[in-house]
Chain A
Amino acid sequence: MELKGPRALSELLGRKVVDQSGRKLGRVREAKAHWEDGAVVIDELILDRGGLRRRLRGPGGPEEEAIPWEAVVELPGEQVVVHR
């Protein structure tokens, strides 16, 4: 999905992520990116399914789920709709 205009990371963080049938998958907690010629390019949104343990453990734990950016369909209101 192409971002219409620049967005702030804080607008994505904390958003509820749902699939196209409306089922809740989690909340956006982190964005995994890679270095490309000095630029930081976003690959995935990392969700957590709620919980203190992820916050404690930091990125890369089993409570997480990664959604590739290509799967993001739209960003209505306070949500992220993804294709699954």
Chain B
Amino acid sequence: MKAEGDIYVVHRLLDEQICDSEGRRVGRVDDVELSGDPPRVTALLVGDGLYPRRLPRRLARLARRISGPERWGANALRIPWEEVDELTSTVKLRKKAEDLGLGMGDDPAHWIVRRLPWN
């Protein structure tokens, strides 16, 4: 992705809507992964398992009791930064939702599959 200049990460990246390559809405940037020195954005994090972290400390404990712990792959997903195509009024990804494990909540087939006894 070609872009230049400065970017305020909280103002323009955090909490943005994410869309896949076909324009399907697949969640919001619930958190951002940073690593390296100086730190760079290495992944976007999506999922309701990440909500407790976004709340002030006291509420966070209560929230975690309600939503349960983070389960990576289930209620917390990691989108590597390389999968981001462009940043306009949404974060647009290079691939389709299924290829990244996203959008499961809106996949009716997934609702059924999840409830099968052997899953």
Residues of A within 8 A of B (CB): 1-3, 5-14, 29-36, 38-43, 46, 58-59, 69-70
**A69-B56 in contact (CB<8A):** no
Residues of B within 8 A of A (CB): 1-11, 13-14, 31-43, 45, 50, 53-54, 56, 81
Collect the chain A residues with CB atoms within 8 Å of residue B5's CB.
34-35
Q: How far is the CA of A33 from the CA of B40 in the complex (A)?
A: 8
Majority SS at the chain B contact face:
mixed
A35-B4, A39-B40 known; A8 and B10 CB under 8 Å?
no
**A30-B11 in contact (CB<8A):** yes
Collect the chain B residues with CB atoms within 8 Å of residue A10's CB.
31-32, 50, 53-54
**A9-B32 in contact (CB<8A):** yes
Collect the chain A residues with CB atoms within 8 Å of residue B33's CB.
6-9
Q: Which residue of B lies closest to A70 (CB)?
A: B38
A8-B53, A10-B31 known; A33 and B9 CB under 8 Å?
yes
Collect the chain A residues with CB atoms within 8 Å of residue B43's CB.
6
Pairs A–B under 8 Å by Cβ, sample size 27: A1-B37, A6-B34, A7-B33, A8-B45, A8-B53, A9-B31, A9-B33, A10-B32, A10-B50, A10-B53, A12-B34, A29-B10, A30-B11, A31-B9, A33-B9, A34-B5, A34-B7, A36-B40, A38-B1, A38-B2, A38-B3, A39-B41, A40-B40, A40-B41, A41-B40, A42-B34, A42-B40
Q: Which residue of B lies closest to A5 (CB)?
A: B35
Q: How far is the CA of A9 from the CA of B50 in the complex (A)?
A: 11
**A3-B8 in contact (CB<8A):** no
Cβ contact of A13, chosen from B10, B13, B41, cutoff 8 A: B10
**A8-B31 in contact (CB<8A):** yes
Collect the chain B residues with CB atoms within 8 Å of residue A41's CB.
38-40
